[in-house]
Amino acid sequence: MKDQRYYAIKSLIETKRIHSLQLVFEIIPLSVVRVDMKANYSTLRKRVYNGDTLTLKDFRLMGELFEVDPSEILRLALFDVTNTQKKIAPKKKK
């Protein structure tokens, strides 16, 4: 039986009420998704929290689990990556 939190995530993604892939894993534990994706926990964790390393397969599998288009998962991951880069970008000297 599919975890009910997947349906909540689907709804949040479709209504654009969630904007970050990392926020998804505040709703449903990474360990639950890991089992359903048949992925190694530490590998998946590294990929999620460093969006640059997510694979097309990761986007596809998460899209299937959440029952949304994989491009929506990509959109969430891109938000995380662009915001992370803004936080760590060095400030310009005047």
Q: What is the pLDDT of residues 63-80, one digit of tens each?
A: 999 999 999 999 999 999
Q: What are the φ/ψ torsions at residue 30 (nearest 5 degrees)?
A: -60, -35
pLDDT at 2 over 90: no
Q: Which residue type, as a one-letter code, is found at position 34?
A: R
State phi, psi for 93 to the nearest 5 degrees. Answer: -85, 145
Fold of 19-85: 434 Repressor (Amino-terminal Domain) (1.10.260)
pLDDT of residue 89: 45
Q: Average model confidence (pLDDT) for the chain? A: 90
User: Does 14 score more than 60 pLDDT?
Assistant: yes
How many angstroms separate the most distant Cα atoms in the chain? 58
Which pTM was predicted?
0.84
- In whole angstroms, what is the distance from residue 22 CA to residue 24 CA? 5
In whole angstroms, give the CA distance from residue 4 to residue 46: 25
List the domain boundaries for the chain: 19-85
